[in-house]
Amino acid sequence: MMTRQLLIALASAAVLGACSSGPPVPDWKMNAQDSLKRATDAYMDGKPQIEKNEFARARSEIASTGKMDLLVRAELIRCAARTAALDFEECSGFAALRADASPEDAAYAEYLAGRARPADAALLPEPQRAVLAAASDTAAAAAAKAIADPMSQLVAAGALFKANRATPELAVMAVDTASAQGWRRPLLAWLNVQAMRADKAGDTMEAERLRRRIAVVESSAKR
């Protein structure tokens, strides 16, 4: 059985699954999946206009079905990418659809915003449950590091940062993960976090080293 999905890397949950042994997959599903994937890739690479255009296409395809639950989850995918890159802007697309969100979707939105309660852990996508339920910041960082999927790992790291639970070890993990994937936007965000912490600690040499690395990443986006 071949499962076709609407980009589950961010939420670790099938959104638009379909089996090849069943009826033909409607064009809107494949178009939405492809555009969401391109939108997320563009966002992580620091290409906002491409992300905006591709997400608009994906949303239009889903809206043609009138399926509110899928629109909600598409917006959450977008929110999750922003959390991974430490973007603190409100997820306005989800906010406009909150009345149609399931308890699970609402809990995930709160998690992405850094406002979730440990009691809500069971409502989250499986990779994120242990992160929210962790009793200490160190345990939460370890739970995030144990997540195999790079995007889900960065989402967990971003959620912990927003909840003011990010340890230095978590920042190292996030930098390493973003670097390994070549994701400029979250890499720059997390390198800046490390640089600011080095400044605060009075470690001038480390801050300068990090800013040299930041400059290299920034220069690569201008090519």
pLDDT for 128 beyond 70: yes
How do residues 150-204 score in pLDDT, each as one tens digit?
999 999 999 999 999 999 999 999 999 999 999 999 999 999 999 999 999 999 9
Provide the mean pLDDT of the chain.
89
The rounded distance, in Å, linking the Cα atoms of 164 and 115 is 10
pLDDT at 222: 60
pLDDT for 9 beyond 70: no
Q: How far is CA 63 from CA 32, 79, 81, 105, 109, in A?
A: 10, 18, 21, 18, 20
| Sequence-ordered alpha helix ranges (H) in the chain | 27-44, 48-63, 68-84, 92-95, 103-112, 126-133, 137-145, 150-162, 168-181, 184-201, 204-220
- Going by C-beta distance under 8 Å and a sequence separation of 6 or more, which residues neighbour residue 179? 187
Candidate from 3-17, 48-62, 87-101, 206-220 with smallest mean pLDDT: 3-17
